[in-house]
Amino acid sequence: MGCMSMAETKKNETKPGALTRTIEVKTERRTQLKNFTGEIEKAVAASGCKSGVCYVYVPHTTAGVIVNEGADPDVARDIEAALDRMISHEANYRHAEGNADSHIKTALTATSATIFIENGRLALGRWQGIFFCEFDGPRRREVRVKIVPGASESSD
Amino acid sequence: MGCMSMAETKKNETKPGALTRTIEVKTERRTQLKNFTGEIEKAVAASGCKSGVCYVYVPHTTAGVIVNEGADPDVARDIEAALDRMISHEANYRHAEGNADSHIKTALTATSATIFIENGRLALGRWQGIFFCEFDGPRRREVRVKIVPGASESSD
Amino acid sequence: MGCMSMAETKKNETKPGALTRTIEVKTERRTQLKNFTGEIEKAVAASGCKSGVCYVYVPHTTAGVIVNEGADPDVARDIEAALDRMISHEANYRHAEGNADSHIKTALTATSATIFIENGRLALGRWQGIFFCEFDGPRRREVRVKIVPGASESSD
């Protein structure tokens, strides 16, 4: 599965349902959209949050995060191919490390995602999954997840 | 106007100003940026929130949301055309449902938007509007809106 | 440096660590990614927030914000050039103000960024910086920053 939760970093939070956690993601290809919804869902379950907001943050500059179709893996492959076609790996770039395209792809996707939590679960649409977007793999990466209980939690 | 608020789903929230609501959006074209700022503003008004954060979440995988020019409708048309030019409808895609391009366009825009609430209203810039981005219409769609009052509300 | 904090707009917030502030950004080129991480970091320091979420919001329709490589300025230049290549300045646009491309580039990046606050600082990755994305400069611009302390603040 390649995604592992690191030691739970739930500190002595004062408010029930709050959690900040680091998830480790291992990628296998240079450009790879990896569905890691299950890891985020585990963080939500661990938090005990019933209603609130889940933020996913990628602290890298050649990787991002998006929400897209999780049912048919071909969609992720099509997105990978489209980004590779739009942004050439080799071009007349100034950045000398050979991964300027990876930074550009990151700029076109996003470094954070916001998903609601309802009834103790991620309120994703029926076909949605959360994808780690590797643009300079294979690598070991980290993702930060923050869960903030909403104002309505106690009444749900 | 094609956009209708569904029955208000403000539950017995404990904190004043909190609200989670579903908005229904009806689109008329395959690729269509539809200004639905008014619907989001209505949710803010219904919440009674004076200061906080408004999150707009699209639970679909072939539609997104952006904030852009709301004054001249030609801008939305130019964005639609640019995305259609950049991402071909027909190409050598793996996904067999004929809408791989719709998923790719979604990846390039966003599935959520974050807007501040100040003085009981959306704190949009002078020319800004909030656009539902249909990439596989026409369809009936749903959008979730969550309003979280900020720490400073009681003092505003 | 071109970035100036305006008069501090910390009102009589009730919750410690909350802050909403306007930052002014001056750009020098038509397309320019300007690293203004320091200005955002100053707002975090002024708030006194130890743990929470920092939102950066651009109230313009021809400018955005992204998080990307802050160490090598060549990366920002490569992203600028890639966007200029992808989206022609002059084309058969409907919008008559000569900046349709600026709006399209804004749609492809983002109008808001979400960054965590941990230990009283922005929890950016090692190489990350926050970039104001000017797509129709040079201009004077404004950016709104909102800092919301998280539930775990008192225990950090």
pLDDT tens sequence across C102-111: 999 999 999 9
Using CB atoms, which residue from A53, A69, A155 is nearest to B11?
A: A155
A13 touches chain B (CB under 8 A): no
Using CB atoms, which residue from C70, C78, C125 is nearest to A60?
A: C125
| Residue C2 domain-assigned (yes or no) | no
Give Cβ neighbours of residue C74 (< 8 Å, ≥ 6 apart): A93, A94, A95, A96, A100
How much is the mean pLDDT over chain B? 90
Tokens of B145: 């809106």
- A 44-63 residues with CB below 8 A of B? 51, 53
Grade residue C150 by pLDDT with cuts at 50, 70 and 90. confident
Using CB atoms, which residue from B115, B125, B155 is nearest to C13?
A: B155
Grade residue B76 by pLDDT with cuts at 50, 70 and 90. very high
Grade residue B152 by pLDDT with cuts at 50, 70 and 90. low
Q: Do B152 and C106 touch (CB under 8 A)?
A: no
Counted domains in chain C: 1
Amino acid letter, B73: P
In Å, the largest CA–CA distance within chain B is 57
| Residue B7 domain-assigned (yes or no) | no
| Residue B8 domain-assigned (yes or no) | no
Residue A69 to residue B105: CA distance in whole angstroms: 12
Grade residue C151 by pLDDT with cuts at 50, 70 and 90. low
CA C60 vs CA A143, C9, C30, C149: distances in Å: 30, 20, 15, 26
| Residue C11 domain-assigned (yes or no) | no
For residue A115, list chain B residues with Cβ-Cβ distance below 8 A: 57, 112
Tens of pLDDT along A1-48?
333 344 344 454 457 899 999 999 999 999 999 999 999 999 999 999
| Residue B3 domain-assigned (yes or no) | no
Q: Do C116 and A15 touch (CB under 8 A)?
A: no
The CA-CA-CA angle for residues C51, C52, C58, to 5°, reads 135
Query: What is the pLDDT at residue B8?
Result: 44
Residue A109 to residue B104: CA distance in whole angstroms: 10
Size of interface A-C (CB pairs under 8 A): 101
| Residue B40 domain-assigned (yes or no) | yes
Q: Residue A54's closest chain B neighbor by CA? A: B55
| Residue A3 domain-assigned (yes or no) | no
Helices and strands, counts by H and E, chain B: 3, 9
pLDDT surpasses 80 at B5 = no
How much is the mean pLDDT over chain C? 90
Using CB atoms, which residue from A68, A109, A126 is nearest to B103?
A: A68
Range of the domain at B90: 18-150
What is the mean predicted confidence (pLDDT) over A61-80? 98
Residue A53 is part of a domain; what is its CATH number? Answer: 2.60.120.460
Proportion of chain C above pLDDT 70, given as a percent: 87
Query: What is the pLDDT at residue A3?
Result: 39
B112 touches chain C (CB under 8 A): no
For residue C149, list chain B residues with Cβ-Cβ distance below 8 A: 151
pLDDT surpasses 80 at C9 = no
pLDDT surpasses 60 at B31 = yes
C86 touches chain B (CB under 8 A): yes
| Residue C3 domain-assigned (yes or no) | no
Q: Do B151 and C18 touch (CB under 8 A)?
A: yes
